[in-house]
Structure 1
Amino acid sequence: MDIDDSQEGILLFGILENGKCEKFIDSSYRPYFFVLPIDKKKAIKEIEEIVKKNSLPVTEITEDRRILHGEEKEFIKIYAKRHQDMQKIRDAIKVLEEKRGGSGSIIDEFEYQISAYRTYLAEKGLSCLNWFEIETKGNQIKSIKKVEIPPPKLKILAFDMEVLEVQRGTPSIVMISVFGEGLSKVITYQEAKYTVDSNVVNDEKELIKSFLEIVQDYDPDIIAGYNTDLYDMPILRERAKQLKVDISILSRDNSGITLSKRARFTTARLIGRVHIDIFNFVFNILSPMLQSEQLTLKNVSHELLGDTKLDMEYEDILQAWDKGHELDKLARYCLKDSELVYELTKMLLPDIEELTKITGQSLFDTSRMPYSQLVEWYYIKKSKQQNRVIPNQPKFDEIKERQKATYEGGFVKEPEVGLHKGIVVVDFASLYPSIIATYNISIETLNCSCCKDNGYKIPEFPYWFCKNKKGFESQAIEELLIERLKLKKELKKLDPLSHEYILLDTKQRALKTIINASYGYYAYPASRWYSKECAESITALGRYWIKEVLKKAEQKGFHAIYGDTDSAFLKIGDKKEEIKQFIKEINQSLPGLMRLDLEDFYVKGLFVPREAGGVAKKRYALLDENGRLKIRGLEIVRRDLCRYARQTQQEILKFCLIDENIEGAFKHLNERIKALQENNYDFKDLVVYEQLSKPISEYKLISPHVIAAKKLIEKGIPVGEGSVIGYIIQKGSGSISERAYPVELADASKIDINYYIENQVIPTAMRILRIFKKEHTLF
């Protein structure tokens, strides 16, 4: 189901049982918003006068009882003729607010800014990706209800474009590839001996037309790409406009590509189909779990699929097109990108679909939501189910004030620097969410009048939470926690390779995503459910319980070498059974849904000091019983250093942690430095990759990758927000940033080797080697 609210009523696109796509209109939706009055009768009278005087498109004014922050209140419900009229009506009546110098008959207005289709989905309790039984009269929906059967298989078409400045200053599309089930094709307008299925046309105009014909014939439900919101879709729309090509058929309602920008986010919408930019989901949701240097299609595909792009730099592509050689390589390169996008979409779509069901929103929106929005829309869906009024988003000034607020986070026991053996790591399962559920943490239960003497007391603060009435956020998160626990119990009974296991595992991962974002949403400055008090209560309880675990572990003879927020690193030697009994005893003492888990046993662990003395949080490497390394906070997993420096550190880590050969580690560092000095290295290993997170014009601090990007633009090479810039540092005068050259324009003979030795290789290596006290001399 896809949705468009451009007509009177809600326009729904859906797949019938026979696989055909149809559209229907649900005219039952009536746009409305709420007004919270001080004096209800006076407010209604004054609102009616304003409506009449200004000829406002109001169809009805009614009274309604709704819950706001736990209290049932009397509201005025104002219905508008069209959804887009609500802001105008609200602006006219807000003069009645006392804070604006009005008569003081109303306090505030709610739900006037939420889009029509999102309100419709939340209010109806519908969710995309479900089957619905509908009764219709013509194309008008008379009734609609959800049917619990598996959703249909959606038809996916992935695409990729190669764009070059054929004419100075004008980006042109020279090749488009498409990939789907039973479809693998490249469209271009230069003749060559292509080894892939190709369609050679006369020019760029025909290339775009040919692409549109394929889309029309294939009729996909999902069109997928990588960074297509910011790059491919805007370029496609602009080139089609300049070449006078009608691209309306990309959408099933013939509206073409709809671009919209909110803050720094741009989206490209197709009505009747779902455009999924898989980069958004990777960036918003997966990036914290990935080891990739940069979130490029190449890196992400390699990590998730075990497959990767074909090697071809921008200069190679430009040369291939200009000189008409290696065009087959370019075609294979372009087609491979579409294939990778298709495989990534197939892999990640089940997770996106489950999140879509939990939030109750559209597949298009959910695939682009960061953690905060996933929680917000889950709460909005629950609010509609419970007859609650949705709190307003904070105004800009309020967000700025919230950004100034600080409070203490999780407890950290500084690690004991050095090499340790016989380690176990224990951690709380979803610590902060389980605290929210267990201690009834909610805005409406904070410092309630009924529990001042016997509520859930918060250590270190004059706060308590109600024990008599369940809070909104607490209940909402508890439901997800309980559902996930049930799924995890079911998973233990199933074969991990079975289809049922894969389905349930996908569901529990989606639940975990929203569960773990719930605490952060309290502290998110733009949150509708913001509460500094709730956030600091959660961290206070988290500090209390991790300290309790560390204290009780010491009492049992397990030496705590490190503790961080929800985890304890204990030195236990070979006392594996004793630690299991310890965890069992702790869990018997924990309240509610709180639970301590055994994460893993580790043969050795190396804890690293910070640069200016002392020790560092989350900077360690562990070796498990299967010989696998778990690394946190070291440069090996950082994305802003060259591969040569990271590889050096990783090899030194193995010398120290696995072999315990410190002399060998120093010797290896000397050899790596010598190799650089003797030009015995691969040029590509010195490239640093960084991503442009915003347009070039918005950067205030001019860092190396921004300077390198500007040099690309000067040469007519298109880059912008989302582009990954590879650069090296060359010899010369000026700052390091000024000496940054994009890899496409770099001169290998001018690389500043001393920069790499002194600023990258030695500092990253010594992060580990300074642990060991012996005197060693570097080459």
Structure 2
Amino acid sequence: MPELRFYPLDIHYSVREGKPIIYLFGRSAEDGSRVWVHDHSFAPYFYIIPKAVPAGELAKELAEFSQDRAGRAVKFTRLLAEKKTLGADAVSAVKAYTEVPGDVPLLRSSVRGLPHVSEVLEADILFVKRYLIDKGITPFTLCSAQGTWNKSDLDIPVFDAEEVREAGTDIIPTLRILSLDIETYSPFGTRIEPEKNPIIMAALTGNGFSKVITWKRFKTSKDYIEFVDGELELLEKLKNYIIEFSPDILCGYNSDAFDLPYIKTRAEKYKLDFAVGLDSSSLLIGRGRYVTTSIAGILHLDVFRFIIATMRTSLDVPSYDLNSVSLELLGKGKADADLEDLPKTWDNHPELLEPYCEYNLQDALLTHELLVKLLPNIKELVKLVGTDPFDTARMSYSQLVEWYLIRKAHHAGILVPNKPHHDDITDRREHTYEGAFVFEPTPGLFSNIVVFDFRSLYPSIISAHNISPETVNCPCCKDTAEKIEEKSGESLWFCTKKQGFIASVIGEIILQREAVRDQMKKLPEPSKVLHARQMALKTLANSMYGYMGFFAARWYSLECARAIAALGRQYIQHLISQAEKEGFRVLYSDTDSIFITLEDKPKEAVNAFIAAVNKTLPQIMSLKSEGFYTKGLFVATKEDKKDMSGAKKKYALLSQNGKITIKGFETIRRNWSPIAREVQSTVISMLLTKNDPDAAFSYVKEIIARMRRHEIPLEQAIILTQLQKEIGAYDSIGPHVAVARRLRDRGKKVGPGSIIKYVIISGTEKIRDRARLP
């Protein structure tokens, strides 16, 4: 029987002749050609827990069970009794197979009411994800298929597989990546209206290919600019270039919600079938909580969605627009062009359009470079979580954790809890718990600061104390386990006899990350792959605590979340006490770290303190030094000098090598003007590097005087704020809402998502009444 070795990249399924077929689009490991594997071997199923009867007896009853759907008898195709684990208990379950995935919801809801059915589980795990988990197949990773080649009317060969399995750990060596960006005729400040406003430019770039297509002609020496005779021809060219390039990945920046849906809408206006899918299908727009756009056989990755979902907490940027993210990650930004003038230039001065074409291409180039830089992170998350790349790159932290747990549960024979119902979520939202301990800072400028933090505090607590939903308050350890006393008078404890599921999983993650970091230290040069791997492991580990307290989690446990937070407070408070006993002055503490001053102590005292603390901690936990800082600035929250309290999560530090770290200040916020951000950053720098408050004060007074003399360029005073909802939905009218009202009254269409640009003029009225368009 012929064998095909290939790398799966994009996964879908279809139903043909009453049977489900898994579609795996990928590339041959032999010659890199496109392949389309059809796997007929996998059937949908879910689990049914019996009540008052053995699983075998329930299986016999279910064999006769049937429901009618449009004249078709919907019934189980196979029923197996299996031993499983549910929570802390061993159970017998019936594994119930159905004919097609669409039968699962009907049979699930129908059998729930049967007298011998206790519970239905895993019926909400989608078919493609179920396939990947059960088969142990990881996208991007080498697979082997046994089957036969089949004729196809399409340009891609079809391999009908009887069996597909993973064939090792090799990752696809190269990927063809095409980046897309469009510019539309959209007057600044108005709503995006794809039904009305045309696409006037479209840029593509990747693997040495670059093209900007536009339909207004002008003189240019740029060979990447191609002129066409109208928007329809632009769309046709765009479609043909995508097909000819044959990308493995098509990427964009906000392409889920903007570029691709816009293209689809404009194509439909001209009755153009934008069929770029490898099965000749068009763009598929999904409209759930977020808009998503998929293409059969081409992996569409929205870099913006990945940044927002997975990297937002690690980026120090004023906003997540392409320019800010590119400056942070690539060290370069967008081309210089004023998009506000593009519609007027398009209408009246086509000879001035070349800079906008450069701008369009630069956006596509930046997006391409960002994806290349971030692709190792996406690949490592896919390897860990085991879901398809399209979904993985759009998952929130809680979703990544949940699918990782689902995969681990399957391999451990543990049944996965159901998603909570609406009533459960409503109830869970009403229950909160006390969070981390924060030691309020003393405002001022301090010298010789050391920052300590616990390595992976919450993950370590979960592992060290065996915290998992099925181990909390177990009856077997009620009299022997160490108790966590809560303010309510309740006690929490965790099993000491049997390791919990989540505790074991997170323990493995911690050890895996340690091994990867050790491996990285031995290498002569940094490894992007290993760095991405340890970051993926860190992401999962650090998200586990929040996941258990998340109202929509399958493995939700308020008791676990409360216990983790309580133990975290206990460890940090004990650390503060130990530091003070050793003669250190504690300046600030937050969650898992403390800031101290050395006072008159030598630096060697720090290592001795760390060693002493670590002797008192569970083996998997440890304290480490984050570094020495020559200066640190902590600020007050109130102007009343009689009651000055320190601001939490708001400080600036100067390291020994001169690097300034700023947390919590407005230097990175978009809704502050550039001049305000610059002044604050400069003042902080002057205080830390020169220790000269008088000079900083004089600098601020000089800037204010220059503002009053109108010597500061207007663009330095512009504030950008995004509308979060409809104008009429705002109870409190801020300056950006006031300006949005004026725009609306002038006939401009503004709404949620519109960026409002304004300045504040001098005067005595309320700030909102002094907000003006620049």
The residue number in structure 2 matching 1:664 is 695
C-alpha contact (below 8 Å) 2:59/2:81 kept by paired residues = no
Distance 1:695 1:62, change over 3 A: farther
2:124 matched to 1:113? yes
Counterpart among 516, 525, 529 of residue 496 in structure 1: 525
Distance 1:445 1:189, change over 3 A: same
C-alpha contact (below 8 Å) 1:456/1:467 kept by paired residues = no
C-alpha contact (below 8 Å) 1:40/1:76 kept by paired residues = no
C-alpha contact (below 8 Å) 1:25/1:141 kept by paired residues = yes
Distance 1:292 1:333, change over 3 A: same
2:508 matched to 1:479? yes
Distance in 2 (CA, whole Å) between partners of 1:467 and 1:588 is: 21
C-alpha contact (below 8 Å) 1:161/1:334 kept by paired residues = yes
C-alpha contact (below 8 Å) 2:50/2:117 kept by paired residues = yes
The residue number in structure 2 matching 1:776 is none
2:332 matched to 1:307? yes
C-alpha contact (below 8 Å) 1:165/1:717 kept by paired residues = no
2:476 matched to 1:450? yes
2:87 matched to 1:61? no
C-alpha contact (below 8 Å) 1:226/1:341 kept by paired residues = yes
Deviates more, 1:659-668 or 1:273-282: 659-668
> Given residue 497 of structure 2, which amino acid in structure 1 is its aligned partner?
N
2:13 matched to 1:5? yes
Distance 1:485 1:168, change over 3 A: closer
The residue number in structure 2 matching 1:99 is none
Distance in 1 (CA, whole Å) between partners of 2:390 and 2:585 is: 50
Deviates more, 1:527-536 or 1:161-170: 161-170
Distance 1:592 1:80, change over 3 A: same
The residue number in structure 1 matching 2:36 is 23
Offset at residue 114 of structure 1 (A)? 2.1
The aligned runs of 1:393-432 (5 Å cut-off) are 393-432=419-458
- Same amino acid, percent of matched pairs: 36
2:684 matched to 1:653? yes
Offset at residue 703 of structure 1 (A)? 5.0
> Given residue 10 of structure 2, which amino acid in structure 1 is its aligned partner?
D
The aligned runs of 1:14-413 (5 Å cut-off) are 14-17=26-29, 18-40=31-53, 47=62, 51=66, 55-96=73-114, 103=115, 105-138=116-149, 139-146=159-166, 147-165=168-186, 170-196=196-222, 197-248=224-275, 250-263=276-289, 265-323=290-348, 324-413=350-439
Counterpart among 644, 649, 652 of residue 621 in structure 1: 652
Counterpart among 670, 693, 700 of residue 639 in structure 1: 670
SS of the residue aligned with 2:261?
A: helix
Q: Which runs of 5+ in 2 are unaligned?
A: 1-8, 150-158, 188-192
Distance 1:411 1:153, change over 3 A: same
The residue number in structure 2 matching 1:762 is none
Size of the aligned set, in residue pairs, is 731
Distance in 2 (CA, whole Å) between partners of 1:246 and 1:663 is: 68
> Given residue 302 of structure 1, which amino acid in structure 2 is its aligned partner?
L
Distance in 1 (CA, whole Å) between partners of 2:236 and 2:752 is: 27
> Given residue 294 of structure 2, which amino acid in structure 1 is its aligned partner?
R
Give CA-to-partner distance per residue, 1:484-539, whole Å, 9 cap, x none.
00111121222234xxx232122111111111111110111111111111011111
> Given residue 586 of structure 1, which amino acid in structure 2 is its aligned partner?
V
Distance in 2 (CA, whole Å) between partners of 1:468 and 1:195 is: 75
> Given residue 72 of structure 1, which amino acid in structure 2 is its aligned partner?
A
Distance 1:375 1:341, change over 3 A: same
2:526 matched to 1:526? no
Offset at residue 127 of structure 1 (A)? 1.1
C-alpha contact (below 8 Å) 1:380/1:390 kept by paired residues = yes
C-alpha contact (below 8 Å) 1:293/1:689 kept by paired residues = no
Give CA-to-partner distance per residue, 1:353-394, whole Å, 9 cap, x none.
101110001111111111111101111111111122211111
SS of the residue aligned with 2:66?
A: helix
Counterpart among 758, 762, 766 of residue 727 in structure 1: 758
Offset at residue 48 of structure 1 (A)? 5.3
The residue number in structure 1 matching 2:620 is 593
C-alpha contact (below 8 Å) 1:412/1:563 kept by paired residues = yes
Deviates more, 1:206-215 or 1:29-38: 29-38
Deviates more, 1:732-741 or 1:300-309: 732-741
Distance 1:508 1:165, change over 3 A: closer
Offset at residue 150 of structure 1 (A)? 3.4
Give CA-to-partner distance per residue, 1:320-341, whole Å, 9 cap, x none.
2112131111111101110000
- Report the TM-score when normalising by structure 1: 0.89
Distance 1:492 1:45, change over 3 A: closer
Offset at residue 738 of structure 1 (A)? 7.0
Deviates more, 1:55-64 or 1:214-223: 55-64
CA-atom RMSD in angstroms: 2.5
SS of the residue aligned with 2:74?
A: coil
The structure whose residues are more often helix, as a share, is 1
Deviates more, 1:188-197 or 1:598-607: 188-197
Offset at residue 457 of structure 1 (A)? 3.2
SS of the residue aligned with 1:656?
A: helix
SS of the residue aligned with 2:638?
A: coil
Distance 1:33 1:703, change over 3 A: farther
Give CA-to-partner distance per residue, 1:299-346, whole Å, 9 cap, x none.
111111111111222322112211213111111110111000000010
Distance in 2 (CA, whole Å) between partners of 1:496 and 1:311 is: 36
Distance in 1 (CA, whole Å) between partners of 2:300 and 2:771 is: 36
Distance in 1 (CA, whole Å) between partners of 2:430 and 2:720 is: 32
Distance in 2 (CA, whole Å) between partners of 1:337 and 1:281 is: 17
Distance in 1 (CA, whole Å) between partners of 2:338 and 2:329 is: 22
Deviates more, 1:683-692 or 1:236-245: 683-692
C-alpha contact (below 8 Å) 1:415/1:562 kept by paired residues = yes
Offset at residue 47 of structure 1 (A)? 4.8
C-alpha contact (below 8 Å) 1:455/1:465 kept by paired residues = yes
SS of the residue aligned with 2:123?
A: coil
Distance in 2 (CA, whole Å) between partners of 1:74 and 1:251 is: 44
- Report the TM-score when normalising by structure 2: 0.90
Distance in 2 (CA, whole Å) between partners of 1:305 and 1:152 is: 23
Distance in 1 (CA, whole Å) between partners of 2:746 and 2:359 is: 23
The residue number in structure 2 matching 1:767 is none
C-alpha contact (below 8 Å) 1:165/1:716 kept by paired residues = no
> Given residue 337 of structure 2, which amino acid in structure 1 is its aligned partner?
M
Distance in 2 (CA, whole Å) between partners of 1:600 and 1:343 is: 32
SS of the residue aligned with 1:171?
A: coil
The aligned runs of 1:680-691 (5 Å cut-off) are 680-691=711-722
Distance 1:72 1:257, change over 3 A: same
Offset at residue 678 of structure 1 (A)? 1.4
Distance in 2 (CA, whole Å) between partners of 1:3 and 1:706 is: 44
Distance 1:721 1:257, change over 3 A: farther
Offset at residue 210 of structure 1 (A)? 0.3
